[in-house]
Amino acid sequence: MSAGRELLGALLAPTTHRARIIWTAGVGIVIILVVGLVIRTGHFDFAVVKFFNGFHNGAVGSLTNAVYIIFEPVSAIVGTVVFTGIILALTRNLRVASTFAATIAATWLSLAVVKLVVHRLRPDASLLPFPFKPAQIDASYPSGHAAFITALVVTIVLGLGAGRSRWLAGIIGGLFILGASTALVIDGVHFPSDVIASIIWGIVVAPFVRMIWVSGVLRGVDDARSRRRRDVGQPE
């Protein structure tokens, strides 16, 4: 089998430690929601935002602005569709491609519920040395940008077979998440607590979403096809 056909094939692997994945996701979601409700009116980490925003000039400012723009919702959606198309073309496996897209999308979009419930205001741009323009007026906690980036990295890592490639992808992906999250704080558009919550969300929710998609949705499709074949008298 070609390398392309094997790309991200581990996404379809049988899920092990299901109870641990479910409990981890459940506890993580509750903690992120509760913490958000506790800190939504606080600005305990604003000093960190102000410190990092002091570096938001010249090349650094241009780079961090680019990070924010590249991972805007529309760009993120388009990027996910493009990557999914590439994966489908290389693997010729709709199950792998759909699992990739569904894991990222559900992990990322489900965070909108927390943003709506918590509704934490963004860092006060008027108190920052280099305020981001245009001003961002949507909820700050958790960060949708950081959640998308984390979901993307975690999904890729989940798709790689256990071994050196997974560890390498995890290390590189972790550094990418850290760099992008730091850029969001330098931009002054998120508190550190916003991006930390999003990173945790992506790490605990993405494996749960993958499990539900593979064990629930794809298996349900397979069962439906089997019943339909039996009904018309076709072999399995």
Return the pLDDT at 14. 86
Q: Taking Cα atoms as reference points, which of 187, 141, 174, 149 lies closest to residue 44? A: 141
Return the pLDDT at 34. 97
Exposed / middle / buried, residue 73 (Cβ in 10 Å: 0-12, 13-18, 19+): middle
pLDDT digits (tens, 9 = 90+) for 62-73: 999 999 999 999
Peptide bond into 134 cis (omega under 30): yes
Q: Taking Cα atoms as reference points, which of 84, 107, 108, 78 lies closest to residue 8? A: 84
| Mean pLDDT per 10-residue section of the chain, whose length is 236 residues | 72 90 97 96 93 95 95 94 95 94 96 95 95 91 96 96 88 97 97 97 97 92 76 61
pLDDT digits (tens, 9 = 90+) for 112-122: 999 999 999 99
Place of tokens 């850029």: 183
Count CB-CB contacts under 10 A for residue 174.
14
Place of tokens 């509750």: 30
Return the pLDDT at 5. 65
Return the pLDDT at 1. 46
Q: From CA 13, how far away is CA 33, in angstroms rounded?
A: 30
Return the pLDDT at 164. 87
Query: In this structure, are residues 113 and 25 in contact, taking their beta carbons and an 8 Å threshold?
Result: no
Q: From CA 166, how far away is CA 29, in angstroms rounded?
A: 25
Phi, psi of 235 (to 5 degrees): -65, 150
